[in-house]
């Protein structure tokens, strides 16, 4: 993987670049749709490529390991072949499931033992076998195995958790460098900076990660219960330390405003389930604010949701039609809302890139944050 830093904003740490992978080039800043189980919910691959124009999507190691299983994925030739996606893929290591499935897992120095949410069976994830799993899945970018510490953890827990994450990272790197990709293209490993909301721990973690000289780096353990301002503070602390010539990925974040604030602080890559999950529940994101399409006020509004995103669903369908579909519990409502929200997120980061290049990002971002904060 190669990263070319092309432009720096003169008034902030925002930047624009190019990530070159074995499955294409990614312009940054970029938002990556989440395809946890090998599919972005309610969205066809053709729409992801031709309408949303996503250059990269996510998969999740924990879920793909359980179903369909690594044997099936390897027989298929990797996830790209299995789900017919010929652009880049990034896989989460299962570290977030250490946090989200805390009732069904046990942590130890060796790794994390999970009870499957499907059938209750036990499975041990270690730094070594997680690297092997991601080699088999075949993602272009794979993540180190870490503990995603809760945002409200006390200092003692956060310090112990970071120690475990750093120990696991060394083991991930050793396994990664002693194995080869399986399907004829390169894979890159991104370490993850943890440390909860404690500045000294985040500095320690960022310095350790920077020393590994990986192809890119990630910031994890944010948007997991801590105050928003703390999240922004931690990003600033970490990005003062992480190398500027490598892409920075903020994991699991977030709202459109979160994304713009993080871009301003030097983040290049984002993912979040919010566009599709919220869309399936009737919340639509637009450049003028959020819409609850279930509300009666949209019943006779025949205007498009947000035509400037240039998504075909905004050309074809009105707010009134989508209001009708969602009230009638039609499956098409989930599809239209998901496509719209993803198209909007991709539009937003592309607009951010354009304004970074044109030199007026800070002015544009201030205006957009005000608009995006509205409830329509």
The CA-to-CA distance between both ends of the chain, in Å, stands at 42
Among residues 92, 146, 215, 268, the one annotated as catalytic is 92
What average pLDDT does range 151-163 have in this prediction?
Answer: 96
Q: What is the pLDDT of residue 212?
A: 98
Q: What is the pLDDT of residue 310?
A: 76
pLDDT digits (tens, 9 = 90+) for 130-150: 999 999 999 999 999 999 888
pLDDT band per the 50, 70, 90 thresholds, residue 99? low
pLDDT at residue 96 tops 80: no
What average pLDDT does range 109-115 have in this prediction?
Answer: 91
pLDDT at residue 100 tops 80: no
What average pLDDT does range 204-231 have in this prediction?
Answer: 96
What average pLDDT does range 18-29 have in this prediction?
Answer: 98
Among residues 146, 215, 271, 306, the one annotated as catalytic is 271
Q: Does the active-site annotation cover 92?
A: yes
Q: What is the pLDDT of residue 117?
A: 87
pLDDT digits (tens, 9 = 90+) for 305-359: 998 877 888 889 999 999 999 999 999 999 999 999 999 999 999 999 999 999 9
pLDDT at residue 107 tops 90: no
């Amino acid at each position: 993987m190669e990263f070319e830093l092309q432009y720096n904003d003169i008034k902030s740490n925002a930047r624009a670049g190019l990530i070159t992978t074995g499955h294409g080039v990614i312009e940054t800043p970029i938002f990556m749709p989440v395809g946890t189980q090998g599919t972005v919910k309610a969205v066809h691959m053709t729409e992801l490529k031709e309408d949303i124009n996503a250059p990269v999507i996510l998969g999740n190691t924990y879920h793909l390991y359980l179903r369909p299983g690594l044997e099936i994925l390897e027989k298929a030739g990797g996830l790209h072949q299995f789900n017919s996606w010929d652009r880049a893929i990034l896989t989460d290591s299962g570290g977030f499931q250490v946090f989200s499935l805390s009732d069904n897992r046990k942590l130890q120095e060796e790794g994390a033992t999970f009870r499957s949410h499907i059938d209750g069976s036990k499975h041990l994830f270690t730094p070594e076998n997680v690297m092997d799993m991601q080699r088999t899945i075949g993602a272009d970018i794979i993540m180190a195995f870490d503990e995603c510490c809760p945002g409200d953890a006390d200092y003692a827990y956060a310090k112990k958790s970071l120690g475990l994450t750093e120990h696991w990272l060394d083991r991930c790197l050793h396994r990664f460098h002693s194995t080869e990709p399986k399907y004829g293209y390169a894979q890159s490993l991104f370490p993850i900076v943890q440390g909860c909301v404690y500045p000294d721990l985040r500095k320690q973690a960022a310095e350790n990660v920077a020393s590994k000289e990986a192809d890119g780096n990630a910031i994890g353990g944010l948007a997991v219960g801590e105050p928003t301002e703390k999240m922004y503070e931690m990003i600033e602390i970490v990005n003062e330390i992480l190398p500027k010539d490598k892409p920075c990925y903020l994991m699991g974040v977030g709202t459109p405003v979160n994304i713009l604030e993080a871009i301003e602080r030097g983040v290049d890559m984002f993912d979040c389930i919010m566009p599709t999950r919220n869309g399936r529940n009737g919340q639509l994101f637009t450049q003028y604010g959020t819409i609850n399409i279930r509300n009666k006020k949209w019943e006779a509004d025949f205007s498009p949701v947000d035509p400037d995103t240039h998504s075909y669903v905004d050309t074809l369908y009105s707010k009134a039609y989508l209001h009708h579909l969602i009230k009638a519990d039609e499956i098409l409502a989930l599809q239209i809302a998901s496509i719209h929200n993803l198209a909007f997120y991709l539009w937003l980061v592309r607009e951010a890139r354009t304004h970074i290049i044109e030199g007026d990002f800070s002015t544009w971002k201030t205006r957009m944050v005000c608009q995006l904060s509205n409830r329509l």
